[in-house]
């Protein structure tokens, strides 16, 4: 699925804003993002609970999503210069969100205990990072020849994902509605502050993606630079997913989250003084790496802070909120089109503001420091 998403992102980057006049590109992307809000609001509360209650529903959804996404890309290849591209893009987003829900629900069912969940998600992130890095390069080259070839690569990737989905287990994720205890746990201070932090980072990821895309359109070989940025961002995410479990064994989750936000803040402010293409690629990789570290820490917080919650249902809910944050963050650079250095400075300021918000929600820096480190040989939530 990741390979197909990378190919589609590169192909649509050219169709939406790298090969059309600035005014038309802005209109297309604003419409695209506005329309993309609907799947996140509609799919999760209605489709998610329904498929959670079906035996084998998650596996069936993954298989069907792969097939349907392949068909959508075939339709896109015939509609790159027409208005039909927008309803197809909408369909792609609906399917993407449906897959995210199914994946979030399946993962907890294939582990024997909660402590394995972070490691499994880390391995999935590693696979996604490798795939994104490997696919972005040939996809970028195919896009230079013809965007349809790039979309064709995505079609094969989705078909391959559908075939592999038959190996997934048939399980029932949530056979009853959420209970009061589960709802209270998911609204605990620890979970809320971690959820706030990851939404801030996902908003930054969305902002940086579209800021970089519009900024590079004015540079020579903008499509190649953008493809390189996506590729290196995938590599950075891969590295973060390797490092994340190591960090988790050595520090509490809240320090992983604070460090991620602080890292983004420092890199953003630093690259603002350069404003060059290399700086843009550096901050893109940094933001995606920090978001990956924060995601692993967040998942661990949900494990420890909401032990009675249904993991699939909980992660599906949070994923919806994170995607909305990504869309909202992406709208800002499309509407205001900031200069390169200003966009980097904004990212830095947002990261530092996230640190301040997290510390405030934690009750202050003194209280945050007072929470002792956990013995590396024991689970982080075993205190």
Write the pLDDT tens digit of every residue in 61-80. 788 888 888 898 898 888 77
Are the C-beta atoms of 18 and 213 separated by less than 8 Å?
yes
Return the DSSP state at 219: S
Write the pLDDT tens digit of every residue in 272-306. 988 788 888 999 999 999 999 998 888 878 867 66
Asked whether the predicted pLDDT for residue 205 surpasses 90, the reply is: yes
pLDDT given for residue 377 in this prediction: 39
Q: How far is CA 112 from CA 19, 49, 107, in A?
A: 49, 23, 11
Share of the chain above pLDDT 70, in %: 71
Query: Smallest Cα–Cα separation from 70: which of 141, 133, 5?
Result: 5
Query: Smallest Cα–Cα separation from 163: which of 249, 63, 243?
Result: 63
pLDDT given for residue 47 in this prediction: 60
Q: How far is CA 131 from CA 6, 73, 212, 230, 367, in A?
A: 9, 19, 21, 11, 41
Write the pLDDT tens digit of every residue in 6-31. 777 777 665 655 555 555 566 767 77
pLDDT given for residue 200 in this prediction: 96
Write the pLDDT tens digit of every residue in 300-358. 788 676 666 666 667 767 877 887 888 889 889 988 888 888 999 999 999 999 999 99
| pLDDT grade for 172, boundaries at 50, 70 and 90 | low
Domain spans of the chain, in order of start:
2-370
Share of the chain above pLDDT 90, in %: 18
Q: How far apart are CA 380 and CA 101, in angstroms?
A: 26
Lowest-pLDDT range of 13-27, 96-110, 213-227, 240-254: 13-27
Q: How far apart are CA 294 and CA 196, in angstroms?
A: 11
Asked whether the predicted pLDDT for residue 129 surpasses 80, the reply is: no
Write the pLDDT tens digit of every residue in 235-255. 888 888 888 888 877 888 889
Overall residue count recorded for the chain in this entry: 383
Superfamily covering domain 2-370: MFS general substrate transporter like domains (1.20.1250.20)
Lowest-pLDDT range of 98-102, 107-111, 234-238: 107-111
């Amino acid at each position: 699925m990741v390979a197909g998403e990378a190919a589609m992102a590169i192909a649509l980057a050219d169709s939406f804003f790298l090969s059309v006049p600035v005014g038309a590109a802005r209109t297309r992307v604003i419409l695209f993002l506005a329309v993309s809000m609907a799947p996140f609001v509609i799919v999760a509360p209605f489709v998610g609970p329904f498929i959670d209650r079906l035996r084998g529903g998650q596996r069936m959804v993954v298989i069907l999503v792969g097939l349907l996404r392949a068909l959508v890309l075939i339709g896109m290849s015939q509609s790159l210069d027409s208005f039909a591209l927008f309803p197809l893009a909408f369909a792609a987003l609906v399917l993407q969100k449906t897959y995210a829900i199914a994946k979030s629900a399946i993962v907890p069912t294939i582990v024997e205990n909660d402590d394995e969940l972070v490691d499994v998600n880390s391995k999935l992130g590693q696979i996604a990072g490798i795939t994104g890095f490997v696919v972005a390069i040939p996809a970028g080259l195919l896009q230079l020849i013809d965007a349809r070839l790039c979309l064709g690569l995505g079609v094969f990737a989705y078909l391959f994902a559908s075939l592999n989905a038959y190996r997934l287990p048939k399980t029932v994720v949530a056979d009853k509605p959420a209970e009061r205890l589960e709802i209270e746990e998911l609204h605990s201070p620890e979970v809320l502050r971690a959820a706030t932090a990851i939404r801030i980072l996902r908003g930054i990821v969305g902002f940086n993606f579209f800021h970089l895309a519009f900024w590079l359109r004015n540079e020579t070989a903008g499509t190649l630079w953008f493809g390189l940025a996506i590729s290196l961002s995938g590599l950075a995410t891969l590295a973060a997913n390797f490092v994340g479990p190591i960090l988790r064994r050595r520090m509490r989750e809240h320090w992983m989250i604070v460090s991620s936000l602080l890292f983004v803040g420092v890199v953003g402010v630093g690259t603002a003084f350069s404003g060059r293409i290399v700086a843009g690629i550096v901050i893109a990789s940094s933001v995606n790496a920090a978001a990956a570290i924060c995601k692993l820490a967040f998942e661990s917080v949900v494990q420890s802070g909401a032990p009675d919650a249904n993991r699939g249902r909980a992660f599906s809910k949070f994923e919806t909120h994170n995607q909305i944050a990504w869309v909202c963050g992406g709208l800002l650079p499309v509407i205001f089109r900031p200069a390169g250095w200003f966009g980097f400075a904004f990212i830095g300021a947002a990261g530092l503001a996230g640190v301040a918000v997290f510390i405030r929600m934690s009750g202050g820096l003194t209280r945050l420091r007072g929470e002792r480190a956990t013995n590396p040989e024991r689970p982080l939530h075993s205190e």
